[in-house]
Structure 1
Amino acid sequence: MANSTPLHVVTGKGGTGKTTVAAALALALASRGSKVLLCEVEGRQGIAQLFDVPPLPYEERRIATSDEGGHVHALAIDPEAALLEYLQMFYRLGRAGRALDKFGVIDFATTIAPGVRDVLLTGKIYEAARRRTGDRSSPFVYDAVVVDAPPTGRIARFLGVNDDVAGLAKVGPIKAQSESVMTMMRAPQTTVHLVTVLEEMPVQETLDGIEELTREGLPVGHVVVNLKRPSLLSADTIEALDAGRLSAKTVAPVLEKAGLPRDAADTLVADGKGHVERQQLQDEQQQIIDGCGRPHVELPLLTGGIDMGALQELADLLAPLAEDAR
Structure 2
Amino acid sequence: MSRLHVVSGKGGTGKTTVAAALALALAAEGKRTLLVEVEGRQGIAQLFETESLPYEERKIAVAPGGGEVFALAIDAERALLDYLQMFYKLGTAGRALKKLGAIDFATTIAPGLRDVLLTGKTCEAVRRKDRGGRFVYDHVVMDAPPTGRITRFLNVNDEVAGLARVGPVHHQAQAVMQVLKSPQTAVHLVTLLEEMPVQETMDGIAELRTAGLPVGSVVINMVRPEILDSAAVEAAAGERREAVAEMLAYALERTAHGGIRRAGSAGQLVGPLLDEAREHTERLALERRGRSSLEGLGLPVHELQLLGEGVDLAGLYRMARELRRQGWSE
Normalization by structure 2: what TM-score? 0.91
**Distance in 2 between residues matched to 1:194 and 1:285, nearest whole Å:** 14
Between the aligned partners of 1:35 and 1:103, the Cα distance in structure 2 is 39
8 Å contact from structure 1 (residues 79, 117) kept in 2: yes
The residue aligned with 2:313 is 308
Report SS of the residue matched to 1:168: coil
Structure 1: runs of 5+ lacking an equivalent:
none
SS in 2 for 1:297: strand
SS in 2 for 1:42: coil
- In the alignment, what sits opposite 2:300? 295
1:70 is aligned to 2:67: yes
Q: 1:138 to 1:239 in 2, by over 3 A?
A: same
> Which 10-residue stretch deviates more, 173-182 or 251-260?
251-260
Contact persistence 1:163–1:179 (CA under 8 A): no
Structure 2 CA distance, aligned partners of 1:246 and 1:222? 45
Are 2:277 and 1:282 equivalent residues in the alignment? no
Q: Say which one has the larger Rg.
A: 2
TM-score (norm 1): 0.92
Matched residues in 1 for 2:235 and 2:182: separation? Answer: 54
After superposition, what is the alpha-carbon deviation per residue over 1:215-255, rounded to whole angstroms, capped at 9, x for unaligned? 11111111111111111112232222122156544333444
Task: Assess, with a 3 A threshold, how the Cα gap between structure 1 residues 20 and 298 changes in structure 2: closer, same or farther.
Answer: same
Q: Does 1:258 align with 2:256?
A: yes
Q: Which amino acid aligns with 1:180?
A: A
2:323 is matched with 318
Gaps of 5+ in 2: none
Query: 1:32 deviation in Å?
Result: 3.1
**Which digits, 9 at most, give the CA deviation of each residue in 1:169-228, with x for residues without a partner?**
232221211110000001111111111111111111111111111111111111111111
What's the secondary structure of 1:75's corresponding residue? strand
Match of 1:194 in 2: 189
Calculate the aligned-residue CA RMSD, in Å: 1.9
Cα deviation, 1:9-33, whole Å, max 9, x if unaligned, reads 1111111111111011000011132
CA contact (8 A) 1:166 1:174 kept: no
| Aligned: 1:185 with 2:180 | yes
1:87 aligns with 2:84: yes
Which residue number corresponds to residue 142 of structure 1?
137
Task: Label 1:127 to 1:166 Cα distance change in 2 as closer, same or farther (>3 A).
Answer: farther
1:23 is aligned with what amino acid? A
One-letter amino acid of the counterpart of residue 269, structure 1 = L
Matched-pair identity in %: 57
**1:209 and 2:207 are equivalent in the alignment:** no
Alpha-carbon distance change, 164 to 235 in structure 1, aligned in 2, over 3 angstroms: closer
Hey, what's the Cα distance between the residues in 1 that align with 2:10 and 2:249?
43
Aligned-partner SS, 2:298 = coil
Alignment CA distance shift 1:109-1:102 (3 Å): same
Q: Distance in 1 between matches of 2:74 and 2:6?
A: 14
Judge conservation of contact 2:29–2:64 (CA < 8 Å) in 1: no
Q: Which residue of 2 aligns with 1:40?
A: 37
Query: What is the number of residues matched between the two proteins?
Result: 319
Query: In terms of mean alpha carbon deviation, does 157-166 or 23-32 score higher?
Result: 157-166
Counterpart code for 1:258: A
Query: What amino acid is aligned across from residue 117 of structure 2 in structure 1?
Result: L
Equivalent pair of 1:198/1:228 in contact (CA under 8 Å) = yes
Please give the residue correspondences for 1:39-188 in structure 2 after superposition, counting only pairs within 5 Å: 39-134=36-131, 138-166=133-161, 168-188=163-183
Hey, what's the Cα distance between the residues in 2 that align with 1:213 and 1:239? Answer: 40
